[in-house]
Structure 1
Amino acid sequence: MDRIAHFHGKLSSLAYGGDYNPEQWGPEVHAEDSELMREAGVNLATVGIFSWARAEPEPGAYDFTWLDTHLDRLARDGVAVCLATMTASPPPWLARLHPETLPVLEDGTRLYPGSRQHWCPSSPVFRTYATRLVEQLAKRYAHHPALALWHIGNEYGCHISRHCHCEVSTAAFRTWLRARYATVEALNEAWSTTFWSQRYASFDEIHTPRTAPSFRNPAQQLDYRRFSSDELLACYLAEKEVLDRLTPGIPVTTNFVPLAPTLDLFRWAREMDVVSYDSYPDPHGADAAHETAFHYDVIRGLKNGTPWLLMEQAPSAVNWRRRNGRKPAGRMRLDSWQAVAHGADSVLFFQWRASRGGAEKFHSAMVPHGGRDTRIFREARALGAELAAHPALLGSRPERAGAALLLDWPNWWALEQEAHPSSDVQLLAGARALHKPLYDASVACDVLPLDADLSPYALLLVPHLYSVSESAAARITEYVRAGGTVLMTYFSGITDEHDRVHLGGYPAPFRELLGLRVDEFDPLPHGGRAELSSGTGTLWSEDVLLEGAQAVETFADGRPAITRHSFGAGTAWYLATTPDPATLRSLLDRIRAETGIEPVLPGLPPGAQARTRIAADGTRLHVVYDHEAGEARVERG
């Protein structure tokens, strides 16, 4: 049986529930949990995320009897289980016996137990203990009737986001570099080490990019980010190998944190049966609904548009912001339907029952401290019934969009390094700016990696593609030559994959495509604005010299600000600034009219969004949601 089919076979509708931590409570609460889960319509519980110390209280002394009781109870109650490997937070005894497993910051500070994720990703000792635990879990629960899905680790890179700088990590970094470059001469060339007398005679002279007197080598930092993502992935894969070997029919996932530059998610997604995501929009955020929609479009794109899992969200307030606003009545429902609209096969929360103690005791839960007689639980109960009423949504595939946006993690890492013309140029801000006019028009947009097939899309958005290889640039160029339309923003095509400038005038690999040359960057001062022929620009300006393109908008001094260039059978647009929202919306409306891209559903009121999912029998299911009006519904069409 297909792994995802196994998961779906444990459910009758979209997965609904959340993190369940029964080890925090006693038998009386467990009995109430069973009753309330039935009442709320819970059909999936994520169990054991932070249970390592309970399952292995002493090295090699495993105790799963408590877990047997809970999994058996959940199975009897008809609740499937997403079983965690428990390795996100090692027990204190591991640090006592093996202090070398603790991570070290770039300034030499060692991090200690008392929180979570206190482990060095390169540590072979940590991986040995972790995989040993996973083997015990897999052997014990391989055929348990509740087991629907494996959950490896938890939020990789959430706290050790820049990996570790201990001697073990340094040795691992050198090994990684040898595999990437083969010779130190090739590394010296890639890292431009003739600058500042940084030439290496041996790989053994190289360290992780630790605290230094001034700007550190940008190519070294870029490779370290690649290495960090790969080392965390190696931890995940070590556990996955055990699970694949002992439970080959059970799907495997891990949950990604709210969209961050930590991990190369396209690379990670190739190793996952289904992508999982934790979503925590700020109720106080003025544009939270759009930001969340953009994040969901990114997550959906990680595995070519297949359904994904909303592994965590908050029923109301979180505990970790400076000001933790609650979600008003109805917001939990709307946020949940938004995830389903953008491709989620689950609506899960952190957590089922609010903790009495610990750092997250004020993080909201489906069952608050006040229990059943609370607004949150009443809303959770109503939402469970509503989701269960639409079983055809489970496994339905999101319909492919007509527009796409390119996103690349190594480019993100390179773009936001120090010593650039302006630190105000941020990838996600630029990507969301291009995505927002489509969202406002209820137009679907997919998010793609650089190596994706671009041919199905009429419009390609390319925000700040600063670091790009010659081959990737050629693929974008050929896409337009063959009839596609591209909208590219400034500071694109500047360096190669080693952060070395493409010579021949900016943006060298895209000059022919765009029909222009950028003579000089002219970033705007903090808070500065540039007047356009209609509207204003922010953050950036530059001196654009036309080489076949036409100026559609100009700066007040006559310099081109927005250009259009017919190229082959297609069209290339270029933004030399960040236009104000109205100007950018007008531009995207014009481009959509030229490319024939329409809203998902015609006639929606302003603020309403619709996305389409295709059920197994071919039925088109339109999920419509409107945060302003507080409405959500499912239509067949």
Structure 2
Amino acid sequence: MIQYGGDYNPEQWPLATRIEDVELMQQAGVTLVSVGIFSWAQLEPREGEHDFGWLDDVLDRLAAAGIKVALATATASPPPWLTRKHPEFLPVLADGTVLHPGGRQAYRVSSPAYRQYALRMTRTMAERYQDHPALALWHVDNELGCHVPHDYSDDAAAAFRRWLEARYGTVEALNAAWGTAFWSQRYDDFDEVLPPRSAPTYPNPTQQLDFARFSSDELLTHYRAMRDVLREVTPNIPITTNLMLSTGTKWMDYFSWADDLDVIANDHYTRASDPEAHVELAFSADLTRGVAGGDPWMLMEHSTSAVNWQPRNRSKRPGEMLRHSLTHVARGADAVMFFQWRQSAAGAEKFHSAMLPHAGTDTDVWRNTVELGAALRALSEVEGSRVRARAAIVFDYPAWWGTELDSHPSAAVTYPDRVLAHYRALWQRNVTVDIVPPSADLSGYALVVVPTLYLVSDADAANIAAAAAEGASVLVTYFSGIADEHDHIRLGGYPGAFRDLLGVRSEELWALQEGETVTLDDGTAADVWSEQMHLAPGTEAVRTFTDGDLAGWPALTRRPVGEGAAWYLATRLDADGLQRVTDDLIAEAGLTPGPEGVEAVRRSADDGRSWLFLVNHTDAAATVPVTGHELLRDAPARGRVVVPAGAVAVVREG
């Protein structure tokens, strides 16, 4: 069964509405709801005084209806009495600004005293509901780091020093890693170290990088502390927290979190301003699967229609809710959930859409909710199957952080947009892609794309080189391999760690000015970046610059490596040019593009069964050659299936 449901906030509603909620959930086919996420103030209205009666009643009604619960630790927003009593818990920005209560997440995870309150509440929840029949999953906190990814308080400073001492062992090793001989920054004791608070000019770049690492680890440590309490009390109940895997969430290294979650859960929202939001959605789903190590995962939150937090919040068009939901399923989700079940009447998220909207059941949103429930029931046999890809994109959070530090050759060199550009070129050809860290096992891939891997360790660089030697076509793009994991430049010429693999050496990085473009010998336009690059014997220039300061110099190179090949792209191509290069790589790697006109992804089971998901984002019907049984319409597919405009088909093949 593919689980279906969303965040349920019964504390916002009277008893009569709660009773109606359960009845409507059954009509919609809801099987799982998240409860208690923001209910600390209702459950503990005064310190040490608890009111569980309303929650007991809610869980009992859900259990009686056969609806399971992902029960939260209720710690996502501390109650006013707590922050009034302990204002020293409040987080602090780099400039010293204190973030006050009135919203949510008004706490600093590095505060030992705050953590004790959070752990006490977690234990109280676990001990009260450990045997409740509705309990199926623990939901720890909520979107950790969403609003406060970095805290610069004195508590954070103390925790940062402990983290640095554990990482480096001695202050001498810290000085070496941070390059503190520059600008008289040498430390004589860990107690002298501060977070990278607002300074007269650029803070030490390695200090910034390590503070980002620490901050991600500190949020994970907070999760682990609550998880350990839950595991002690309820050892047989799986535990997760909702990640935010997308091109818009930068500061948590989710690959390092994966082993601590029993199931990977993700929240994802599309941007109304993005005409190709469905491509970013597909990328984020593939990234979630990558963090899950290829295992099925759960979509903990997305929206039925408009959200409330964008400058202009557009409602979803007909069929869009189903397409978005089933794209996540196609790419590995075994649960589809929303924020939230019933649309709030008050508060900051009252205009955020829900499964049951303000206007009630005589609405398109409600009919879409019921339709999706039926579709997921029809797809129940897909549960547990996996997506298998022969192409991979290397994605690395520290490289993202490092790429976008200050005082670099060009502020126009950014990270997630380039990753997404390469992903889009593969998506256009229906080549299924795994999004993996640079340390991943790359041996099974025919094509490996490495965009802007500015920071890379020796081991990870060797891992990427081995993929080419073993037969993969490997594409590395500009501003990669420049620095080691401490953000120290790799001397001897760019691209540093990848010079030998690629057979190139750049003596000068040639950043292009705003609005400046150059042309390649195939007519492709490029901008942002170029390099004065020399080729080693055996490396060929596939494309060269034909104008600008580097006219005649290589722009795209290829070198045979072992059983494979290593390519280097030294500029930012326009979309058409990048598509042509990608098509060449697809052909060289021996990959077969999928059908045109629809998004196509296959899930496969160990017993040999497979399901082809076909998502039509266009205004015209698409015909796809396939034989099997179409599950959503319960009809045979005899050699082909027609996917209507804006619709989805799922074919059990064979």
Structure 1 length normalisation: TM-score?
0.96
Indicate how the Cα distance of structure 1 residues 476 and 258 shifts in structure 2: closer, same or farther if over 3 A, else same. Answer: closer
Whose relative contact order is higher, 1 or 2, with alpha carbons under 8 Å and at least 6 apart?
1
Once residues 51 and 23 of structure 2 are traced to their aligned partners in structure 1, the CA distance between those partners, rounded to angstroms, is 27
Once residues 336 and 138 of structure 1 are traced to their aligned partners in structure 2, the CA distance between those partners, rounded to angstroms, is 31
Indicate how the Cα distance of structure 1 residues 540 and 106 shifts in structure 2: closer, same or farther if over 3 A, else same. Answer: same
Give the drift of 1:93: 1.1
Alignment-derived partner of residue 8 in structure 1: none
Match of residue 466, structure 1, among 444, 454, 463: 454
Q: In structure 2, what residue type is equivalent to 1:630? A: G
Alignment-derived partner of residue 186 in structure 1: 173
Asked if the contact 1:530–1:555 (Cα under 8 Å) also holds between the matched residues in 2, the reply is yes
Match of residue 322, structure 1, among 311, 323, 335: 311
Match of residue 596, structure 2, among 585, 601, 605: 605
SS at match of 1:522: strand
Q: In structure 1, what residue type is equivalent to 2:443? A: S
Give the drift of 1:559: 1.0
Alignment gaps of 5+ in structure 1: 1-12
Alignment-derived partner of residue 65 in structure 2: 77
Asked if the contact 1:258–1:280 (Cα under 8 Å) also holds between the matched residues in 2, the reply is no
Alignment-derived partner of residue 217 in structure 2: 230
Alignment-derived partner of residue 333 in structure 1: 322
Q: In structure 2, what residue type is equivalent to 1:345? A: D
SS at match of 2:434: strand
Once residues 534 and 69 of structure 2 are traced to their aligned partners in structure 1, the CA distance between those partners, rounded to angstroms, is 60
Once residues 431 and 563 of structure 2 are traced to their aligned partners in structure 1, the CA distance between those partners, rounded to angstroms, is 24
Alignment-derived partner of residue 508 in structure 2: 520
Give the drift of 1:18: 0.5
Alignment-derived partner of residue 622 in structure 2: none
2:418 is the counterpart of 1:430: yes
Once residues 407 and 593 of structure 1 are traced to their aligned partners in structure 2, the CA distance between those partners, rounded to angstroms, is 23
Match of residue 252, structure 1, among 230, 239, 260: 239
2:105 is the counterpart of 1:117: yes
Deviates more, 1:188-197 or 1:58-67: 58-67
SS at match of 2:542: strand
Matches within 5 A, 1:195-206: 195-206=182-193
Once residues 531 and 432 of structure 1 are traced to their aligned partners in structure 2, the CA distance between those partners, rounded to angstroms, is 22
Give the drift of 1:614: 2.0
Asked if the contact 2:556–2:569 (Cα under 8 Å) also holds between the matched residues in 1, the reply is yes
Alignment-derived partner of residue 158 in structure 2: 171
Alignment-derived partner of residue 550 in structure 1: 540
Give the drift of 1:479: 2.1
Alignment-derived partner of residue 301 in structure 2: 312
Once residues 288 and 466 of structure 1 are traced to their aligned partners in structure 2, the CA distance between those partners, rounded to angstroms, is 27
Match of residue 216, structure 1, among 203, 212, 220: 203
Give the drift of 1:375: 1.2
Once residues 450 and 531 of structure 1 are traced to their aligned partners in structure 2, the CA distance between those partners, rounded to angstroms, is 31
Once residues 152 and 106 of structure 1 are traced to their aligned partners in structure 2, the CA distance between those partners, rounded to angstroms, is 27
Once residues 115 and 381 of structure 1 are traced to their aligned partners in structure 2, the CA distance between those partners, rounded to angstroms, is 32
Once residues 182 and 84 of structure 2 are traced to their aligned partners in structure 1, the CA distance between those partners, rounded to angstroms, is 43
Q: Which whole-Å deviations, capped at 9, do the CAs of 1:227-272 have from their partners, x for residues lacking one? A: 0001110110000001111111111111112521110100011110
Q: In structure 2, what residue type is equivalent to 1:53? A: A
SS at match of 2:529: coil
SS at match of 2:511: coil
Give the drift of 1:522: 1.0
Asked if the contact 1:416–1:423 (Cα under 8 Å) also holds between the matched residues in 2, the reply is yes
Structure 1 vs Structure 2 CA RMSD: 1.1
Match of residue 614, structure 1, among 582, 592, 604: 604
Alignment-derived partner of residue 630 in structure 1: 646
Number of residue pairs aligned between Structure 1 and Structure 2: 619
Once residues 403 and 581 of structure 2 are traced to their aligned partners in structure 1, the CA distance between those partners, rounded to angstroms, is 25
Alignment-derived partner of residue 588 in structure 1: 582
Match of residue 263, structure 1, among 242, 249, 252: 252
SS at match of 1:537: strand
Q: In structure 1, what residue type is equivalent to 2:199? A: A
Asked if the contact 2:483–2:496 (Cα under 8 Å) also holds between the matched residues in 1, the reply is no
Give the drift of 1:616: 5.8
Alignment-derived partner of residue 3 in structure 1: none
Give the drift of 1:540: 1.0
Asked if the contact 2:473–2:588 (Cα under 8 Å) also holds between the matched residues in 1, the reply is no
Alignment-derived partner of residue 15 in structure 2: 27
Once residues 161 and 172 of structure 1 are traced to their aligned partners in structure 2, the CA distance between those partners, rounded to angstroms, is 15
Once residues 606 and 134 of structure 2 are traced to their aligned partners in structure 1, the CA distance between those partners, rounded to angstroms, is 25
Once residues 394 and 184 of structure 1 are traced to their aligned partners in structure 2, the CA distance between those partners, rounded to angstroms, is 51
Give the drift of 1:536: 1.0
2:570 is the counterpart of 1:576: yes
Once residues 550 and 23 of structure 1 are traced to their aligned partners in structure 2, the CA distance between those partners, rounded to angstroms, is 66
Q: In structure 2, what residue type is equivalent to 1:387? A: L
Once residues 61 and 115 of structure 1 are traced to their aligned partners in structure 2, the CA distance between those partners, rounded to angstroms, is 23
Once residues 340 and 227 of structure 1 are traced to their aligned partners in structure 2, the CA distance between those partners, rounded to angstroms, is 33
2:94 is the counterpart of 1:101: no
Q: Which whole-Å deviations, capped at 9, do the CAs of 1:126-180 have from their partners, x for residues lacking one? A: 1101111111111111121111111101111110022x11111111111111111
Q: Which whole-Å deviations, capped at 9, do the CAs of 1:404-428 have from their partners, x for residues lacking one? A: 0111111111111000011111111
Once residues 617 and 273 of structure 2 are traced to their aligned partners in structure 1, the CA distance between those partners, rounded to angstroms, is 13
Identity within the alignment, %: 51
Q: Which whole-Å deviations, capped at 9, do the CAs of 1:418-450 have from their partners, x for residues lacking one? A: 000111111111111111111001110001112
SS at match of 1:517: strand
Alignment gaps of 5+ in structure 2: 619-644
Alignment-derived partner of residue 336 in structure 2: 347
Once residues 85 and 451 of structure 2 are traced to their aligned partners in structure 1, the CA distance between those partners, rounded to angstroms, is 48
